[in-house]
Structure 1
């Protein structure tokens, strides 16, 4: 093998040159690297429906998002709206013919490195626009050196009444025993008056609404009170109507956790089917629910007026309740098959309610006693845990809850058939799968033993 000898001085000079050269590359690469990441800009404008000529304008949000981009903006092409609708923009936007350019709004908020702004766009029907006419609005969000993506929203003219709900309330500090004044407020976004309307409201379990003689009431599968009212009157275009003083609602002892009171308004002549699976009945009442006009008719509807449904959200009502684990104690000999019935009981008065999240409540975990074999998994239950857990970890079964609510005074129990292999093992246990919506008022009874002797 041929050996190569490099003098120490030559080696040091070479290393010095390499270090200097590398540093030069790093310095030169800095601006280039920055230019390689121009950031991104994105925009969103949903499809829009406006009333016919004579309807109030509709304010619709055009959302602009940007991360790390220089001069984020959106350009809008109005050519496709000709004869269908007009679009108005804030003063900070620049209009040239049928093209509009809007920078990131001065009210934009930065969160987690992303800048988000909302540009209010006011749409109106064009003079002479006919029912069913459609047009398009093309828009492109971009920044300096970012890749531009063209998007399109469809604008449709619909003649006739168009009732929108104006309620979006969020309440905190609500307690059991309170009497709430739930707002009810609607506006007609159409070009024709609405003669009579239907108001449909849903009050989750625990919330008790006032009785009105022009309303019918029922209870759905999640124990919510469904209230359907026929409200007489003429609701002119752009005119807001409200229930004076709000709709009285009692926060009863069954109320627990966060609640969402929903409401939907529809012109009576075109209202959809009544809520399914609910038997509606009238209740004794000394007055009717009436909506009164408020102020003068609006020429332009606010951005909040966008849907036929609204909500009043109650955050975290504390409510008292106690979930009790129900264990079991059975006897038998080795080789026998015995049945244990285990589960949970809600002694109330609060009712865990998972209807907002859509999850099942009242689920539990069952760990059998040592020395037994579960012969079959009952419906609604399955073996829980990681298959790679060591054999020293007891097998545990998860059992689903009874539904979206766990009524006070009820028990959710499941039977397991066990074969006794030995009688010297440790007891098993049953406990809630989760403490929902919080740890209850007596955690000491949340775990119960299961024994085989």
Structure 2
């Protein structure tokens, strides 16, 4: 979802309105609210299209408003002359190089904010060559409201331009399932692509099938990287899909949300291979192949936005068990004792934070009363009330082992504690959160830390 952008002029207007309202006083509140004209905003991304002869591209012009009367966007196409042409839906009004589009009837209402999309089809102008640059100027308006004009750059580039059109969200998958992963690409450029490279990333737990024209490796967060070379000529506008299924099995380590990514590139201009991954062939009698589907497109659909695609598997249940590992503090009053606390993943599921970018496997350690933590271990810091409550010590939060918490491994931290009393209440260690869900045996999620 695109973030709403507020023009500087609109922000100044809203600031002035707030100041004026504050000066009038509470009694003027309702009248001020009745006079509020609301706000309106619009956004169009920059886009690169193929040179003359390439198919057109559909791009979304987003219009957003709240409390505004007759929100609309006014587009000036004069800056496209000789570079590209732009066409709009029939509910927009065109006068020369100016186009006015009202808020689409299909706009969605999210707590009083309307958001609608105007599909704009951009074709290269006849004779437009690579490196040509044009602009589209657009301004959001409503009754008593006008934002500052903005510009989108329309560039022209000659050569192949492969786009991946897969964006699939899947629910209801389970460990043990074998699933077909769709692959669909289209050439939006003005030149054919000869041979392509497909690069896939299957997150931990997913086991892709073997194909003889692919190489396989594992990255630092246990994802399987698959790099495939597919031969053939991919003409401008032509869609291609897999001739046979690319399958993957949801293995025992699968748990939580999983995103399978794919990237398509012309082989001649493909970027570097994934860093730090050793790729090897696997034995197989089957090869992945792409086949043309349907007639060449004159216009690329709005869903095709780049060379990357995804298949998103939602909330795979999976089985796993996180076991807290407590400790006993031993010694005499005044002694310093080192204790090691943490937790272990008994698997088979592997908590995986690579989608969010978060570290997983963090835990909380509350020392027993009667001891003092002498230093902050690396990766740990006081959490919540640093002074504790009364005589109770502070709780410490220790970061997890990284983006994945491997099955069969432990994450522990050593704390140096000074023993001040031998009659303190026990402390405890437990997971910081139950990620990605409460595990299959919550009874062992908390372990005591005692003094004796």
Tell me if TM exceeds 0.5. yes
The structure-2 alpha-carbon separation of the partners of 1:394 and 1:31, relative to structure 1 and needing over 3 Å to count, comes to closer
Retained in 2: the 8 A contact 1:181–1:245? no
Deviation at 1:393, TM superposition (A): 3.8
Given that 2:387 and 2:394 are in contact with CA atoms closer than 8 Å, whether structure 1 keeps it comes out as no
Using the alignment, how far apart are the partners of 1:160 and 1:181 within structure 2? 31
Q: CA deviation at 1:335?
A: 1.9
Aligned residue in 1 for 2:360: 361
Aligned: 1:377 with 2:376 = yes
**2:145 matched residue in structure 1:** 146
Q: Structure 1, residues 380-416: CA drift from partner, whole Å, max 9, x if none?
A: 1111122465324431111110000001000001111
State the Cα distance separating 1:417 from its structure 2 match: 1.4
Cα 1:345–1:97, aligned 2, differ >3 Å: closer, same or farther?
same
How many Å separate the matches in 2 of 1:35 and 1:157?
47
Q: Determine the structure 1 residue equivalent to 2:440.
A: 441
Out of 124-133 and 244-253, give the one that drifted further: 244-253
* Contact 2:139-2:150 at 8 Å conserved across structures: yes
Residue 190 of structure 1 corresponds to which residue in structure 2?
Answer: 189
| Equivalent residues in 2 for 1:49-60, closer than 5 Å | 49-60=48-59
Task: Name the CA distance, whole Å, in 1 between partners of 2:419 and 2:37.
Answer: 69
Distance 1:388 1:396, change over 3 A: closer
Please tell me whether the aligned partners of residues 388 and 395 of structure 2 are also in contact (alpha carbons under 8 angstroms). no
**RMSD across aligned C-alpha pairs, in angstroms?**
1.4
Give the aligned partner of residue 425 of structure 1. 424
Distance apart, 1:284 and its partner CA:
1.0
Partner of 1:352: 351
> Can you list the C-alpha shifts for 1:317-374, whole angstroms capped at 9, x where unaligned?
0000000001112421222222111111000000000000011101111111211121
Residue 451 of structure 1 pairs with residue 450 of structure 2: yes
Query: 1:244: how far off?
Result: 3.1
Residue 279 (structure 1) shift? 1.0
Cα offsets for 1:279-309 (capped at 9, x unmatched): 1111111111111111111111100011110
**CA separation in 2, counterparts of 1:34 and 1:97?**
38
In structure 2, what is the Cα distance between the partners aligned to 1:164 and 1:73?
Answer: 31
Q: Which residue of 2 aligns with 1:109?
A: 108
- Aligned partner of 1:390 in structure 2 is 389
Contact (CA 8 Å) 1:200, 1:229: kept in 2 or not? yes
Structure 1: 5+ residue runs without aligned partners?
Answer: 1-28
Contact 1:367 1:396 in 2 (8 A): yes
- SS, match of residue 443 in structure 2: helix
Q: CA deviation at 1:148?
A: 2.9
In the other structure, the counterpart of 1:72 is 71
Give the Cα–Cα distance (whole angstroms) in 2 for the partners of residues 348 and 389 of structure 1: 34
Tell whether the 8 Å contact from 1:258 to 1:314 is kept in structure 2 after alignment: yes
Structure 2 distance, partners of 1:330, 1:68, is 63
User: What are the residue-to-residue correspondences of 1:136-175 with 2, within 5 Å?
Assistant: 136-175=135-174
CA distance in 2, matches of 1:368, 1:340: 10
Q: Give the total of aligned pairs.
A: 425
Deviations 1:116-142 (A, max 9, x none): 111000000001111100011101110
Question: Any idea what SS the aligned residue of 2:145 has?
Answer: coil
State the match for 1:317 in structure 2: 316
- Say whether 1:303 aligns with 2:294: no
Q: Distance in 2 between matches of 1:388 and 1:448?
A: 23
Aligned to 2:293: 294
The residue matched to 1:115 in structure 2 has which SS? strand
Any conservation in 1 of the 2:212–2:285 contact (CA below 8 Å)?
A: yes
Report if the CA contact (8 A) 1:142-1:149 is conserved: no
Measured in 2, the distance between the counterparts of 1:338 and 1:209 equals 49
Preserved contact between residue 255 and residue 317 of structure 1 (Cα < 8 Å): yes
Do 2:327 and 2:449's aligned partners in 1 also have CA atoms closer than 8 Å?
yes
Per-residue deviation, 1:156: 0.3
Corresponding residue for residue 400 of structure 2 = 401
Give, in whole Å, the separation in 1 of the partners of 2:33 and 2:413. 62
Which one has a bigger Cα radius of gyration?
A: 1
Structure 2 CA distance for aligned equivalents of residues 402 and 275 of structure 1: 23
Partner Cα separation in structure 2 for residue 114 and residue 244 of structure 1: 44
Partner in structure 1 of residue 22 of structure 2: none
**TM-score w.r.t. length of structure 1:** 0.92
Q: Separation in 2 of the partners of 1:385 and 1:116?
A: 39
Using the alignment, how far apart are the partners of 2:33 and 2:381 within structure 1? 53
Distance across 2 between alignment mates of 1:419 and 1:33 = 63
SS of 1:149's partner is coil
Q: Structure 2 regions of 5+ residues with no counterpart?
A: 1-27
- The match for 1:9 is none
SS in 2 for 1:55: coil
Q: For residues 202-237 of structure 1, what are the alpha-carbon distances to aligned partners after superposition, in whole Å with 9 as ceiling and x for unaligned? A: 000000111111111111111110111111110000
The separation in 2 between residues aligned to 1:105 and 1:395, in whole angstroms, is: 55
Residues 399 and 88 (structure 1), Cα distance of their counterparts in 2 relative to 1, 3 Å cut:
same
What's the TM-score, normalizing by structure 2? Answer: 0.92
